[in-house]
Structure 1
């Protein structure tokens, strides 16, 4: 008989407040685990570079934001992203879903990549293009950061009729740097 126990990270010994993840052993393990995954990625990307000479390779990094506002960052750590940030406040309303912060993680990744001089691309996840425009091409950014390209992911066939092509057109024009005035 297989028994599956589902618990929140803070309910485990490793990721609870003052948990093992922040001990000497925990930090050693998490660093080793992250480095193991990084080494694996280096090998795979090196082989891909050899196989596809003269072709620019794009790496897609998934967003792991489920417990981003928790102290341990358990989802990130178990995905190999060794970036715990101590001192983050937990949600006071007890709603565990409030600990997810996709926008916070997105901005952390974008700013870190831009600081390192990396070329970035993006992909939509929702049908709201105007909300994704700020990350694709930040407004009033003195450094003029932007995505090198953007992949449009069409909606599911069941919701296909919900596409507002004027919003998509506005998004594309803004991505090309055209100053589009919207009517209210």
Structure 2
């Protein structure tokens, strides 16, 4: 486990020391500066057009249940149990009038390996709160196809106060069109686009009808679905 390392261990690790703070502050500032340069350049190039600029932020949710958040620190995000590192990231995107692409919308805490102390749901909420605070739109993405209860989790996140700008469904291949998945995706899209659709009109794998829960959307919600 990363927390067995003297740098990342939860209590008394070097990450909490003055040296650790100096190093992690410098390390994350390099990531922010690099991203700022790229987004600034992109924004200036497309400033006179209607093009929306996006930048992708990885969802480093492994070990998020620890105090030190080793995966995030290693990736350059100075975010720990005692420091809100995504505020700086959201500020960078806001400064350049750009939006964030955020994967992992299909991931649930209950299906993560307990040994990894992973929490995609809490990390998504944390990033979403930072983006909402700074007025940065989020375009969600799935990480896999066929994640347990993945479509339900995507729907939940799309209807969230902080994670509702748009959504891009990725990895449309053989597994996506498999008989055990594609009918569920059709139902998922219909329920988002037609929340008033009667449950008896929704298809099942066998082509018959079944009773399903409807989606209760907020009146001001504007959902855009794209495939990639």
TM-score, structure 2 as length reference: 0.63
Distance in 1 between the 2:126 and 2:194 partners?
A: 24
| Residues 111 and 174 of structure 1: CA distance in aligned 2, closer, same or farther (over 3 Å) | farther
| Residues 159 and 48 of structure 1: CA distance in aligned 2, closer, same or farther (over 3 Å) | closer
Distance in 1 between the 2:25 and 2:163 partners?
A: 31
| Residues 116 and 177 of structure 1: CA distance in aligned 2, closer, same or farther (over 3 Å) | farther
| Equivalent in the alignment of 1:171 | 188
Pick one of 46, 53, 58 that aligns with 1:62: 58
| Equivalent in the alignment of 1:130 | 152
Pick one of 10, 13, 16 that aligns with 2:6: 13
Show CA shifts across 1:11-68 (max 9, x none): 2221123111000111111111111110111111112223334222011111001110
Distance in 2 between the 1:150 and 1:115 partners?
A: 20
1:1-184 equivalences in 2 (<5 Å)? 8-16=1-9, 17-53=11-47, 54=49, 55-86=51-82, 95-97=114-116, 99-125=117-143, 126-127=145-146, 128-138=150-160, 146-158=163-175, 160-162=177-179, 164-176=181-193, 178-180=195-197, 182=199, 183=211
**What secondary structure is seen at the aligned counterpart in 2 of 1:77?**
helix
- After the TM superposition, which segments of 4 or more aligned residues of structure 1 sit over 3 Å from their partners? 162-166, 173-177, 179-182
Q: CA deviation at 1:180?
A: 4.6
Distance in 1 between the 2:174 and 2:183 partners?
A: 19
Structure 1 residue runs without a partner (length 5+): 1-7, 87-94, 139-143
More strand by proportion, 1 or 2?
A: 2
TM-score, structure 1 as length reference: 0.76
Tell me how many residue pairs correspond in the alignment.
163
**What secondary structure is seen at the aligned counterpart in 2 of 1:75?**
helix
**What secondary structure is seen at the aligned counterpart in 2 of 1:59?**
strand
How well do the aligned residues superpose, as a CA RMSD in angstroms?
A: 2.3
| Equivalent in the alignment of 1:89 | none
Q: CA deviation at 1:163?
A: 5.1
